[in-house]
């Protein structure tokens, strides 16, 4: 059985482990090895300690864990960062350990996140995904529409990213009911 709860500071290390492991398994075929190796446990742990210790207003971070409280996935987001689009919310990160992917757990995370974002007062959600990432279909399966494309830099490499969005959070939430 799996459960979702708000992330806490003491989760930073486990979130960092999930982040790095899933990043490397997901992007090993999409990102140059040198750029991929820039994501380390140490820098992700510091990042998550900072995020969870000093949460910004309207920020949401949820973890997915099993009955033994082992964290197997997480999702985080908050205000849309670019202010170039008509979306007020954004998913910053959503990751599941490879062994837990394609089991419906990403859907559980997305549903809980959408509800939490609505509770925080958001009306819409945007997410940026590497264009070559086959997981982008996950978002379109739940009604996200392609919004934009642009290049992003990861390490020394340049990669294509696609933004997907839900103009109405209520329509996303309705997909799960």
pLDDT single digits (tens) 34-79:
888 888 999 999 999 999 998 888 999 999 999 999 999 999 999 9
Residue 69 is predicted with a pLDDT of 93
Give residue 26's pLDDT.
Answer: 87
Cβ atoms of residues 113 and 119 within 8 Å = no
- Does pTM top 0.85 for this prediction? yes
How far apart CA 3 and CA 53 sit, in angstroms, is: 22
| Tally of CB atoms within 10 A around 160 | 11
Q: Which of 82, 50, 48 is nearest to 63 (CA)?
A: 48
Question: How many H helices and E strands in the chain?
Answer: 6, 7
As beta bridge partners, residue 174 has none
- Structure confidence at residue 171 (pLDDT): 96
Structural domain boundaries of the chain?
2-174
Secondary-structure class of domain 2-174 per CATH: alpha beta
Mean pLDDT over all residues of the chain? 95
Beta carbons of 92 and 163 less than 8 angstroms apart: no
Burial class of residue 158 (count of CB atoms within 10 Å of its CB; 0-12, 13-18, 19+): exposed
Closest by CA to 77, choosing from 22, 39, 114, 33, is 114
* pLDDT confidence band for 28 (50 / 70 / 90): confident
pLDDT at 155 over 90: no
Look at residues 22, 17, 16 and name the one whose alpha carbon lies nearest to residue 100: 22
Residue 169 has pLDDT above 90, yes or no: yes
What pLDDT band is residue 22 in, cutting at 50, 70 and 90? very high
CA distance 125 to 109: 14
pLDDT digits (tens, 9 = 90+) for 96-120: 999 999 999 999 999 999 999 999 9
């Amino acid at each position: 059985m799996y459960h979702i709860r708000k992330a806490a500071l003491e989760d930073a290390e486990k979130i960092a482990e999930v982040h790095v492991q899933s990043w490397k398994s997901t992007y090993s075929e999409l990102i140059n090895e040198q750029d991929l190796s820039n994501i380390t446990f140490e820098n992700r742990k510091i990042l998550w300690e900072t995020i969870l210790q000093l949460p910004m207003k309207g920020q949401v971070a949820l973890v997915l864990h099993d009955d033994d409280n082992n964290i197997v996935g997480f999702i985080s987001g908050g205000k849309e960062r670019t202010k170039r689009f008509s979306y007020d919310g954004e998913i910053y990160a959503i990751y599941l350990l490879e062994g837990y992917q394609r089991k419906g757990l990403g859907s559980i995370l997305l549903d809980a996140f959408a509800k939490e974002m609505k509770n925080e007062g958001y009306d819409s959600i945007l997410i940026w995904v590497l264009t070559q990432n086959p997981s982008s279909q996950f978002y379109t399966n739940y009604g996200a529409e392609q919004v934009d494309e642009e290049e992003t830099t990861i390490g020394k490499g340049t990669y294509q990213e696609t933004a997907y969005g839900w103009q109405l959070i209520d329509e996303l939430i309705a997909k799960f009911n």
